[in-house]
Structure 1
């Protein structure tokens, strides 16, 4: 519908507000709107009687519409022909689901010296007819009045038309039954009770005007379905027993029923008939769908002698029993799907049998709204069987679930757990070697670290060892330690599948190697912490092996092997001083084979290094004033260091070279090429390259004072 605020409409509103709508005899009146008819395609046709225009003042007709009580707006274009008495409003699409109350009026535009609009015509509302049916019986018709007070030219009764068509339609088509009913104008509802097995029924209501035009509603059409057949029915109960699903029902009260259709509903909701039985059968069992793995659902439908059925009634579903077991608590948790199909479940009884006994004992009862039960004190030595019995709210019917039989195993626990070694991998990483029996299932292993043997300890990792049925030696790395600063004490614990600690290992301390260097004596003094884990079943004593590396080159063999009670060593390097200037050490602890572990195991300490660099003394000032005291500025070196290269440069405050030498015995006397250097601050850079290839560099400032 094309709706907009037109210039004539705005002009009309202004005229009304100013009281300038003409009422003199010279005016041209609005047409007399008499009929409003709904066409089959949803268009609306208006019919009117044109007004007289003896002076030829007529200009146009304008049609105004309102939908759903909205303000009236002009519909379509102006109609310039005064003698035209009908107009079809195309594209209205009447009726619409959300649009109601289609109202229309017409005004005349004329010119009696100035352009004016007439008073509007009567307002008419399109008749919207609505129909509801009930199965194969026609139902109620409802409609609206075109106008609260009917026009005096209208008939005082409606013409209600009806048409009944066969399915498929007859040839030639069946005609309307005219004046099937003639309700009074004030009536807005009518109830029809015609019944057909399979027909299309149509209605339309009309009202004739004295002018000959007819107002007409929309056409309504519905199908009267053939609902002949027995009423729906349902099962009394479905119960699981002897490995099958047993279905029970009562005789249908309709004597025309000759068969029952048994239908299975799969988990996705798809219905599939599984059998058809006679009307004298009231029990059947299904072995094709197991209730042991999921619940099974069914409906039943009655079939009458005409082959008619209203389909299945209420769906009935078996009780499906499942369980979980907590070996840690020794409890079985039963859960089940509720019985579906009854008006309600009064209660569920829980039954149990032991070790293959066929006599079940009721061990508990829960309300019909509960679907779980806990069985306590389960013994791993027994075999258990359970089933659930549901009882409907009337107490007449019962249903049994599937039988759930099982034996519950209580897991073993870890028998032994040992830390065999703890080696320093890097400045931030320690690797533990752990031996554990794997005959019992576990969840994970917690690793704890402390500084002292007595604690406190902090959990630093949780790891899951590799799967194995054999005793397992595995490694765990702690990447948050600082093994170059101190030693650490570790222990581990096993967490079983019950999330409980079941075994704690021995405590094992890392080897922390420390020491100091004496350049004058050419000695490196080393010491370390003692091992705190001693295997009493070891075949031999543990030993330490000390390894030395010179300029990062370690010898494959230790420089010394010591018993485990020796915790220090003094290394004289006088014979190695010309081999390099960097001396590093690592200590390896070898644990002898034992009854618990038949292979020797090792732990490696942190690395400690000593740098045999020259001692350099650099004065911070000198006074070249010819008084014989502190006349020359020169860095001085100590310790026996053969130089491969020596470079000393002095710069003034502007970065200009003031002095340079490659002779370690030569110093600066404060002179420059142009005479005495001015007093002030000077910058130096000293570089020394030793015969071992290491570079020593010093930068700084000193003062020249005169």
Structure 2
């Protein structure tokens, strides 16, 4: 083969090889096949520079965004767009709006390939605010498509307000903008304690708030918002917001252990409370009939341990039975619990002097966790109290025979004690006393009409019951009004003698002064016949 022919063939191979390499390089850098083919290599002089022939590019239309959405679980932002119709598009640039720069757009991502239509943004915190995005297409002629804030799409940023006192969570978010036909509605999704998300509400396209009421306490609750387009085929989700609810819970128990009378103007109540509850104060209420009225407030600072006592000094225990309860007020200043009601015992006593009997009656005590097992009756004579009876539930009446106490002052005092049965759920066994009711048996006086000093009835003195000894005075007079005997001793009588010896047979005048234990005074005058 001739040398020239060899040289020609070698040059042809080199030309084709260089052409292929240049075409590949140009294509990878964004030139179309037609532009790459515009490189023409001079077959004769290989050292000449290549000539690039660029056919003109059509103007680029704006690139329309399909949606911008947050992944609620990762926080990443996904920007999606429609493919630009230009055949010359080589890549897309994603911009985020930044009002602090000029121009107010920051390029944050470049996506190569006309058919690659999304970008995932991970370096922006979707939980701190809303971001606005735009996309611009770039062709191989160096042109870029126009974009503006008016056509940009934004993320939905949701936030919450946790209102522990109202047992609710208030959500709010910004509107999603620039879908072609706008937003149809917003859906609210919630998960409780890492459970599956459930749809809990839907708002209109103009309402970007939602109130979640009656929320469970001691729960981890998460939310996100989902915007739905008018066409229904596009969605955008917000960031996730979570809260652990710790609403002021109701106390596990609020219990009045007892209400007991401690004086004519005093009643003491004892309460058992849940010290783990959220408490601002306790409100003590009282009534006789009708509605309850507040009589006191007790703060937790006044309480030691899990019980407190309160003494009510504004009562008349011999006139009324009183009903008590208390309310628990939490730190939201709301009622969170109410106790049982406790009703005191009102005792009434009537005397029957002729029968030497005192009659007692009382109302049932109410308020023990376990019903009353018995009512114990106590009688006081001269300040000393003794239990005289124990009656089962259902008996609210008792008659006390006091004939054996005729030598006393005649004042009898009583109270009734309610005894709680066994089995109280709080392991208490309490008692409650009634008022102390005192009754006077009126003094009873009998005076003999005659006596015989040397006979079976040698001493003349009155026979009496329930006379107050300190008020007693007894004197004897003759028919001329001369007093020749007197005493203040209830046990001393006249033996029929005077200072001059035995008194003669006849009629004599007696004068007796006496009184009751309650200050009543009596005078009795009459005659007695002395017989020998």
TM range (shorter): 0.3 to 0.5
Greater percentage in helix: 2
Length-normalised TM-score, structure 1: 0.34
- Structure of higher RCO (CA pairs closer than 8 Å, 6+ residues apart): 2
Length-normalised TM-score, structure 2: 0.42
